Chains A and B, each alone.
Chain A
């Protein structure tokens, strides 16, 4: 039997959840024995694979690329995990929601600029009007709050899912943990 297929995806977050995943340290090599990391910032896979058993998603859905990407991820993933507060609640990225995107752009690309001000509009994806949690866009199977969730929690979640059990998280992590 082939090994379960694992993916990690990074939408609009700070990479802290991915770093917390790396904080499982040398256990990452043991994990690679139990599951194939088929798609992740750590590997050079070029497109999201057809069939993935477990996908960890970090970050909120904030721009056109995120929106497109999360739908592809959902379509090809059996168990989708919202990893961390930005995926679960939109958290820090959502702090821009009370502002118009124009105001947010203008601060960075018109006011705090000394040469050639103007909002970038070639090649780069546009911000959506609001940063949204993942489950507002696609169904999510497991929620793992924390900023970031600790390495222990991430390792526990993956171990439980790989053993075919449902992780019980209420006593293990919380928002802002």
Chain B
């Protein structure tokens, strides 16, 4: 009897969270199907029940240590809606700077700490040196740039919020403390160096991406919809705006959608083999309603970035493909353009004469029983939705997280990569590393996506249908 085999990559390494990948082979040993399994789950949507809404920003930030600022922001925006206040203009701007700093540090983590080993040392590099330390040996300047850029973002978060991870500075109605002159000038002083790092990394990346033609052709290179929040003028934003959805040809299919009405146009589906839910665009149904979010999607949906250098780079980015830019490999370049944008945009905001205003918080009692808050997290659109009772205690919550929007696309991407590179009759680390590398392009945050967290280790086994191990890779 022919035996069908399954390849298990457990866990996927150099991603933010715990996951495994299974590849199902046909009788000839060709990859037939692929699944990305997210294996941890915590249950924030339930255990917040009965707690005061004002606790939510600090609690929800604990969903994720990489992008706590996005959760703080989305959660605080729900709270603003519950208070039914308009936050002071300076608080709005300070929150924006906070969010931009986080995008820089999170993108730097993804590109330098997690993906640069694949990009610098190659997809087939020895797994023993495929890490930041291997990068530091081959190209110390690149590793130091990555460390410095992440530090730059984290230091801004610390200057504004008091600590680098889980600051409690964003609160219902605004922020808890104004920006001091000293901190404003210190942040402004750090911008030029960060901009230089972003510029030279982008040049480096564009230089090496030639070497990855086969990966560009197969790393999630297929038509999907793209979704992101854009400003009223169609420009890039991370903090506030309306939802835009565009298609693979680059045409806008839905615009000006209210984030608060997300459940009208987005559906959530359970896959029995993953704690990560799959989100889809309701008018097209599942799975035709597949869409992508995050840097690639934002570059595809936004009309412009709105800052000079980022806009030049965006124009060049669109030359990669006349339609929407489809390959998920290009997430990396999109991420670098966003870093440029964030640095340029922070400079504009910090030079605003209002930025040092002491009026940074609006106070009120809850005036609404239900609210939605949305923002663009580094990885894509993030929604928080809470209902409270008359006492302000949480009765119900729903969180729709960036990585969930990409779930269908990530599964389809690993299938595309595996079909192209993986040969079932013999396994090599490089083959399977590419399956993981396409996941890294999405920079999934699995702590976020299941409101859970993960850990990393790689074990690869080839089992026959009886569950017997027939081949395995170990370190």
A and B interact: yes
- Cβ–Cβ contact A19 & B453, under 8 A: no
How many residue pairs link A and B with beta carbons under 8 A? The number is 219
**Distance (whole angstroms) from the CB of A67 to the closest CB of chain B:** 13
> Chain A residues with Cβ under 8 A from B133's Cβ?
29, 32, 37, 43
Answer yes or no: B371 CB below 8 A from chain A CBs. no
| Residue B244 lies at the interface, judged by CB distance under 8 Å to chain A | no
Q: Please name all residues of chain A whose beta carbon is closer than 8 Å to the beta carbon of B20 when the two chains form the complex.
A: 123
Residues of A in contact (CB 8 Å), total: 66
Cβ of A162: which chain B residues have Cβ within 8 Å of it?
Answer: none
* List of A residues within 8 angstroms of B274 by Cβ: 120, 123-124
Complex contact A15–B164 (CB within 8 A): no
Say if the beta carbon of A11 comes within 8 Å of chain B.
Answer: yes
Taking the complex as formed, is A14 at the interface, i.e. its CB lies under 8 A from any CB of chain B?
Answer: yes
Considering the complex, give the chain B residue whose CB is closest to the CB of A64.
Answer: B39
CB-defined interface of B118-160 with A at 8 Å, one 1/0 digit per residue?
Answer: 0000000001101111001000000110011011001000000
Are A116 and B269 touching (Cβ within 8 A)?
A: yes
CB distance from B78 to the nearest CB of A (A): 15
Chain A positions 96 through 109: 1 when the CB is less than 8 Å from some CB of chain B, otherwise 0: 10110001110111
Q: How far apart are the CA atoms of A104 and B267 in the complex, in Å?
A: 20
* A22 CB within 8 Å of chain B: yes
Q: A13-B453, A99-B46, A112-B398 are in contact. Are A44 and B147 (CB under 8 A)?
A: no
The reply to whether A122 and B273 contact each other, CB–CB distance below 8 Å, is yes
Q: How far is the CB of A88 from chain B (nearest CB, A)?
A: 14
**A122-B272 CB under 8 A given contacts A10-B455, A16-B62, A26-B147:** yes
Contact with B along A1-22 (1 / 0, CB 8 A): 0000000011111111111101
Q: Please state if A121 and B143 are interface contacts (CB–CB under 8 Å).
A: no
Task: Name the segment of A45-53, A74-82, A134-142, A163-171 touching the other chain.
Answer: A45-53
Q: How many whole Å from A43's CB to the nearest CB in chain B?
A: 4
Specify the chain B residue showing the minimal Cβ separation from A69: B455
- Chain A's closest residue to B63 (CB) is A14
In the complex, chain B residues whose CB is within 8 Å of the CB of A12: 40, 42, 452-453
The chain B residue with its CB closest to the CB of A125 is: B39
Interface centre among A40, A105, A123, A125 (most CB of B within 10 A): A123
B460 touches A46 (CB 8 A): yes
When the two chains form their complex, are residues B269 and A46 in contact, meaning their CB atoms are under 8 A apart?
A: no
A108-B46, A115-B267 known; A15-B17 Cβ under 8 A = yes
A26–B152 alpha-carbon span in the complex (Å): 12
A145 at the interface (CB under 8 A from B): no
Q: Which of A43, A95, A115, A124 contacts B275 (CB 8 A)?
A: A124
* A46 to B343 CA separation, bound complex (whole angstroms): 37
In the complex, the answer to whether A42 meets B14 with C-beta atoms within 8 Å is yes
Bound complex: CA of A151 vs CA of B155, how far in Å? 12
| Residues of B close to A98: CB separation below 8 A | 47
B165 part of interface (Cβ distance < 8 Å): yes
Partner of A108, one of B45, B65, B66, B130: B45
Shortest distance between the CB of A69 and any CB in chain B (Å): 7
Among A16, A20, A114, A118, contact of B267 (Cβ-Cβ < 8 Å): A114
CA distance A95 to B451 in the complex (A): 13
Q: Are B166 and A147 in contact (CB under 8 A)?
A: yes
B164: nearest chain-A partner, CB-CB: A23
Do residues B45 and A123 form an inter-chain contact, with CB atoms below 8 A? no
| A residues in contact with B267, CB < 8 Å | 114-115
Do B268 and A29 touch (CB < 8 A)?
Answer: no
Within the complex, which residue of A13, A48, A63, A118 is in contact with B270, where a contact is CB–CB below 8 Å?
Answer: A118
* A residues less than 8 Å from B270 (CB atoms): 109, 113, 115-120
In the complex, the answer to whether A120 meets B65 with C-beta atoms within 8 Å is no
User: Could you tell me the distance in whole angstroms from the C-beta of A29 to the nearest C-beta in chain B?
Assistant: 6
Tell which of B37, B46, B454 touches A10, judged by Cβ atoms closer than 8 Å.
B454
A29-B37 in contact given A44-B131, A104-B46, A117-B270 (Cβ < 8 Å): no
Enumerate chain A residues within 8 angstroms of B13, measured Cβ to Cβ: 41, 43-45
Does A46 lie within 8 Å of B272, measured CB to CB?
no
| Bound CA span A48–B458, Å | 9
Chain B residues within 8 Å of A28, by CB: 132, 147
Report which residue of B59, B272, B457 has the largest number of chain A beta carbons within 10 angstroms of its beta carbon. Answer: B457
Binding site for B on A (CB under 8 A): 9-20, 22-23, 25-26, 28-29, 32, 37, 39-48, 59, 62-63, 65, 69, 92-93, 95-96, 98-99, 103-105, 107-109, 112-125, 127, 147-148, 150-151
New contact pairs (11) apart from A45-B457, A95-B47, A113-B269, CB-CB < 8 Å: A15-B16, A20-B65, A23-B154, A41-B16, A41-B455, A46-B474, A108-B277, A112-B268, A115-B268, A123-B35, A148-B65
A-B contact list, 26 entries, CB within 8 Å: A12-B42, A14-B453, A16-B65, A20-B165, A42-B131, A45-B458, A62-B40, A104-B43, A104-B46, A104-B47, A107-B43, A107-B45, A107-B46, A108-B41, A112-B45, A112-B268, A113-B277, A115-B286, A118-B270, A119-B270, A123-B22, A124-B38, A124-B274, A124-B275, A127-B43, A148-B165
List of 8 A-B pairs having minimum Cβ-Cβ separation, nearest first:
A16-B65, A10-B455, A104-B43, A41-B456, A114-B267, A115-B269, A44-B127, A15-B65
